[in-house]
């Protein structure tokens, strides 16, 4: 149980285009999903916390107009990188926390490798 999927797993796009990444909890409902960014050989950096039915909470330094997050249902959150540029190339990872969970455990998706040419 507790499987989180991401789609696509890899995407290559041209500079200036927008890219949407989906994060789904497959066998549980998640009121809260998190979006992270991971640079090569570095740790995960939390970008934003996404709550179902409300606006996402962004971490300091993360541009909310560039990284649009929508958590439309209890099993789906999307991250849209708008007007992507080469510096946005990174590994994007989502995680989900189950509804009514009394634990702190987050379940992670396999990640999406974004390359902006």
Partner 1 sequence: GDSVTQMEGPVTLSEEAFLTINCTYTATGYPSLFWYVQYPGEGLQLLLKATKADDKGSNKGFEATYRKETTSFHLEKGSVQVSDSAVYFCALSTRAGGGNKLTFGTGTQLKVEL
Q: Which of residues 61-90 bind partner 1 (CB under 8 A)?
A: none
| Residue found by looking up tokens 């927008």 in the block | 18
Which of 93, 96, 98, 116 is close enough to bind partner 1 by CB under 8 A? 93
User: What values do phi and psi take at 56, rounded to 5?
Assistant: -75, 155
Output Rg (C-alpha) for the chain, integer angstroms. Answer: 13
96 forms beta bridges with 33, 107
Check residue 104 for interaction with partner 1 (CB under 8 A): yes
Check residue 110 for interaction with partner 1 (CB under 8 A): yes
Binding site for partner 1 (CB under 8 A): 4, 6, 32, 34, 41-44, 46, 49, 57, 93, 95, 97, 103-111
């Amino acid at each position: 149980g507790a499987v989180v999927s991401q789609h696509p797993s890899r995407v290559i796009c041209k500079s200036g285009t927008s890219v949407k990444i989906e994060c789904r909890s497959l066998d549980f409902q998640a009121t809260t999903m998190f979006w992270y960014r991971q640079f090569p050989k570095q740790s995960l950096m939390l970008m934003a916390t996404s709550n179902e039915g409300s606006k996402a909470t962004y971490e300091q330094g993360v541009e909310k107009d560039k990284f649009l997050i929508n958590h439309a249902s209890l099993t789906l959150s999307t991250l849209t990188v708008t007007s992507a540029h080469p510096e946005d190339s990174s590994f994007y990872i989502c995680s989900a926390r189950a509804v009514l969970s009394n634990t702190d455990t987050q379940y992670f998706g396999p990640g999406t490798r974004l390359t902006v040419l």
